[in-house]
Amino acid sequence: MNNRIAIIIRDYIDGLPWVDKIAGLTQVARISQTDSKIEKRFPISCDLAFEDACREGCYDNLTPDSSKKSIVYFEEGSLTFQRRIKNRLYYESTLRLVGWLNYNLLGGGCGSAAKYIIDIIASLPQMPVDFADFRGVTIEVMSQAQRDSSIFGKYTYNEKQTQYLMLPYDYFALDVRTRFYIIPECVNLPEEGCEECS
């Protein structure tokens, strides 16, 4: 379910003019280099075609480099069943949205991540919305993670890539909570096929 939630949120953000590379839910790709016995870890997403995700034998499409204006993707959080009310099952999802910015390609100067964070928050729906089987969806940014390189701590970026974590580059992480309910008998049915779905 978190994969679908990430896609819902991604689609709201994707239209922002400064967003360059965006993906839904990621996982850590672990690639062993046999010649040096070193394991490299990169974020990858099934949203990206293989040709986009893998360049020169390395899954690096979602890693910082100077050719991209920005990168936005989601990391797994939690999914919790909250309660059942009649035939409605209520859930709460948490995901982490990770953003990386290249101020050289975003107008120059040092910039401020706050502007881009506000854009993301403003792009999210203010009222509950329905998406196919997911009903009454509310999306809320709960907090901003402390800005330090631990945001990328699960990945093995080399020195070349870690230079993109210093000015004129920036980054941030937001913890996003999504609440919704589903009606089990309506899952994968067209809306008109289930009276309870409305």
Indicate the pTM of the whole model: 0.83
pLDDT for 112-128, tens place per residue?
899 999 999 999 999 99
Side by side, which strands form the sheet with 134-144?
A: 38-45, 21-33, 70-85, 88-102, 169-182, 134-144, 129-131
* Dihedral angle sign, alpha carbons of residues 162, 166, 168, 174: positive
For residue 52, what is the DSSP state? H
**Beta carbons within 8 Å of 102's beta carbon, 6+ residues apart:** 64, 66, 68, 69, 70, 164, 168, 169
Domain harbouring 45, CATH code: 3.30.2000.10
Average pLDDT, rounded, for the chain: 84
Number of domains in the chain: 1
Show the domain range for 107: 2-197
pLDDT for 136-145, tens place per residue?
999 999 999 9
